[in-house]
Amino acid sequence: MGRVEGKVALVTGGASGIGAATVRRLAEEGAAVVAADIQDDKGETLAKDLAGEGLRVAYRHCDVTSLAELEETVASTVSEFGGLDVLHNNAASTGGGYVADIDPEVWRQSLAVMLDAVFFGCKAGIPAMLERGGGSIINTSSVAGFYGEMLSAPYATAKAGVLNLTRTVAIEYGRQGIRCNAICPGAVDTPLLALIHQVSPRTPAEMADMHALGRCLEPREIANVVLFLASDESSAMTGASLVVDGGLTAGTRITGFPQAGGGAYR
């Protein structure tokens, strides 16, 4: 028996990065999974490849900025697989700059993809979960939800909003069997990080060195945490914000001392 055997999951932003890794991990552990995205080629290829491995995976085109499309995707998931037990609101966007220079349309689009869409996902998914007697919602926030970040006001603002939306869903629906938690990744090797590398004054090696582990993270490592939150192993957890950042935010490193190489620093 897998850790989410018999459960039905929906993952937004499921065609690449953390989303695709999560689709695979949930399916490997026994869930029927729908990957929702607007990257149709990637999503359809992912579903075909995983189905070829004997896993129950389907792809659905879904613009998460549309409540109607999310409601349709939830309805399709319920129709095909019999219900909804796990919802991973994971879609992301890019766009930023200095606050006074940000195009208002870039601001609105960023919040639409990363904050409005989480609300829409919850609004569409909660009724289906209530029909099953409960479920688990996992929202992708970020360590940027706790701290400001240069040239990233839309991203950081949306991710901060996700944290309090997560807490609110948790306290409103906990007694009806629905748990809601957020994950807060650091730098993960995804297409979004590749875009950051193109504009960041830090080299990839310098960025990796900022983590206590000395490296950026892999999507599967984040997917493993989503799997835990989706499973009954995390039955006591709701309203939590799990930092999964390889030690990126464990300290300020303001002194500039190097990490010990296995022994005490001298």
The residues annotated with a catalytic role in the active site are 155
Output the DSSP codes for 92-126. Answer: -----B-GGG--HHHHHHHHIIIIIHHHHHHHHHH
Give the SS3 label for residue 135. strand
205 vs 196: CA distance, rounded Å: 13
Terminal-residue alpha carbon distance, the chain: 51
Q: How far is CA 66 from CA 59, 73, 224, 243, in A?
A: 17, 11, 28, 29
79 vs 60: CA distance, rounded Å: 13
Q: Is 54 exposed, middle or buried (0-12, 13-18, 19+ CB in 10 A)?
A: exposed
157 vs 154: CA distance, rounded Å: 5
Q: What is the dihedral sign for C-alpha 98, 103, 104, 108? A: negative
Instruction: Quote the tokens at residue 70.
Output: 């999310």
144 vs 113: CA distance, rounded Å: 16
